[in-house]
Structure 1
Amino acid sequence: MDTAEREHRRARAAELVDDLLERDVVAVAVTWVDHSGITRVKSVPVAGLPRAAADGLGASPVFDAFLLDDTIVAGRHAGGPVGDLRLHPDLDRLTVLAAQPGWAWAPADRYDRDGAPHPQDERGLARAVADRLAVHGYEVRAGFEVEWVVGAGGTDEFRPATTGPAYGHARQVELSDYTADLMSALADQDVEVLQFHPEYAPGQFELSTAPEDPVHAADTSVLVRETVRAITARHGMRASFSPKVTAEGVGNGGHLHLSLWRDGRNLFGGGDGWFGMTDEAEWFSGGVLARLPALCAIGAPSVAGYLRLVPRHWAAPYAVWGLENREAALRLVAGRDLEVRCFDLTANPYLAVAATMAAGLAGLVDRVRLPEPVGVDPADLPDGVRLPASLEEAVAAFEADEVLAEAFGAEFAATIADVRRGEIARFAGCSPEEVAALTRWRH
């Protein structure tokens, strides 16, 4: 980032200050999501926003080595006390927070002190992979499904805050004021919600966001989760996004939807391939399918996630694809998009879109064909191909994958593996109940 760019950012931020003050904003939360999927923050008073936009906010690179419980791993390229980064808020995504009066929010891009992009900046990686697709003439649009459970406040144990049945309107009626406040806050923040409903597990809800640029889709996922958290707290309750809230429960997913576009046309429709796919949509999907075991280290990056990825729980633990098959890891929505169902919300959303796009791009380059679709519950097949049954298996697949290693770069990929192995060691010997309890409120 050169001097001219810094001064441009300073001037633009200065133009925003008066409007923020008129809207009673006193501070801006500048967030990034670490490799363990935890949203971290540095904040600045509104008057300091121009300085933050130009010069960044200081933050140690040690956060690249944080585990979900704030333990720091001594990794190969991260984990020490030396060094400094600068967090530069993206003013294009600056949002006044309806659920947190007095606050605005912006996602951060992380740079070193000399203005070079940090080699382990998650948001920057997502942008870089999207740019690589653009060089080939393609655009990806993405959106996330966000699932969470609402628990009664005042306890670390989970007690659902509603007794209404799965998918039941009674659950929504019982928490009508809460859900209305949530939908109102998201609308005020210009988040386009496609649909919202009670889900299967006790106290569980889900909402889906509209497709957008993949980096902004990840931004929106962060904004949605923090809005859910804030509204839930204001109603005296707690929100958990964990993939396994209780050891015996179903848990929360974090499904990623992607569509591939060229020249304004969605390539998942109007073709002569499977269910109307074009060749390019099939190649993209084939690339994702081929790398699902390695992608699990990114999209299902916690020990708790593998308590969720079990058969007959609609968690999609099989490395297969199918038309509207909700137990297949890849569900094709004909004419619209590809849903990656094995991911959960312990994932860093920027890494999830980056890794999945990299896999899809490799499929495009290599023209990877899809196998036959699966039109039944894969658990009923004698040769159903399971995804990794543990985080350790997923990490091994990630480290062996040359495409993802090239996309992440050696330093970034090594740190991802170090952090994942740190979590494996942290939970070694823990029972499923202990894993669920220790993960429940972290994300």
Structure 2
Amino acid sequence: MSDLTPADAARAARALMPELRRDLEALVRIPSVSVPGIIDAPLIDAFEMTSRLFADAGVEVGRLDLPDTAPVVTGSIPAPPGAPTVLLYSHYDVVPAGDESLWNSPPFEPTERDGALYGRGVADTKSNILMHVGALRAWGGRPPVGIKICIEGYEEIGSGALTSYPVTDPALFDADVLVIGDMGSITPGVPTLTTGLRGMGNVTIEVRTLESGKHSGQYGGAAPDALLAVLQAIATLHDEHGDVTVEGLRRNEWPGTDQPEEDFRALGTVLDGMPLIGTGGLGSRVWSGPAITVIGIDVPSVDGAVNAVSPYARAVLNVRVHPEQDAKEAQAAVMEHLRAVRPFGIELEVSAGPTGNGFFAPSDGPAYAAARGAWADAWGADVMLAGSGGSIPIVSALSEALPRAEALLIGTSDGYANIHGPNERMLLSEFEHATAALADFLGRYADAAS
């Protein structure tokens, strides 16, 4: 057992920042883009480097190979007698860089500007891997709690076979608290613990009404217009305020503090004078309530448009679901609504796309008590309990396998990190605060459990 106090470990973590940054930059230089059905050399390089980082931090590292899934870094540090165990989760894969001409520096060459490190994957989520490593290093590889790790390489494309694995082998992941390193602060300087993730499901609407397009002057007004039918159906999903009208979709007011509207507008790049849609608190609209977004639609282009009635139309909807509602149940409700609409008497073909359940974490346990103190001290500010509209596929799978474990969703990024976009960046100050907070938390949690 280490003689360090939690405060000592936090200070040690801050002192480690230069070496943690060097390791982070080396990891970011590996273009570990995940693509379905492909496990290429960069993914394996990232897996191997991640394995070495944890091994050097005191973890007895293992490897979990699952069908059609990148290898998962597993491992453990035995718990001292009577101490609880903490599972550290993150992922080493990244999304593609996209159009590199939109980047101000090469996406896989980490570059510092104005206190931030830029590069693909620096915020999502390789800095969280180094946050975990840094917290273990701060304790000299002998933390006062047991440690298990799960660092995957297919998270950005749905986690592959990993999502169904924990319930079949819960002992591999068994822990008293799950620390999910794939989140961060709502805004820079505001320490944030994420307690809810909305689930999601996609729905496709499709209809063919004519064998071919017909002249709108000769046929418009009577010929069944496929595009009008799809638009009419979509329009029934929301009321005049922008609230979702589908029966059976769960919504309640967010139990914590809402995000300030000015912050939401700034983060969402909402244009001046443009109203927000929906009613009620922001938390209920973006964290604990449903949302339906048209994410794709096949329509004739404005450029080169011809005067014709559309014979065919298709749209894809993304349905975001209350954290505690089954995603397939919500998806089915939307599909039932759309099938019942029959715009102009036209029957729509409605089909289900991928789904993923959300997650809600109770915040009244000993891990949350320890985390509130550690995060508040690290940032020198009050902690915010927030939700997220995004999804992390493995979280619900781990929670199903370990129903009694508390779950902390934390991390190094912030709302301006531009994850998945050009010029992704991570503030070095947030990286330092998060690493210090996690090192502090391991000590506080051990003390609370003793």
User: In which range does the TM-score fall when normalised by the shorter chain?
Assistant: under 0.3
- Structure number with the higher helix fraction is 1
Q: Comparing both chains, which one has the higher relative contact order based on Cα–Cα distances under 8 Å and sequence gaps of 6 or more?
A: 2
Q: Which has the larger radius of gyration?
A: 2
Report the TM-score, using the length of structure 1 for normalisation. 0.27
Report the TM-score, using the length of structure 2 for normalisation. 0.26
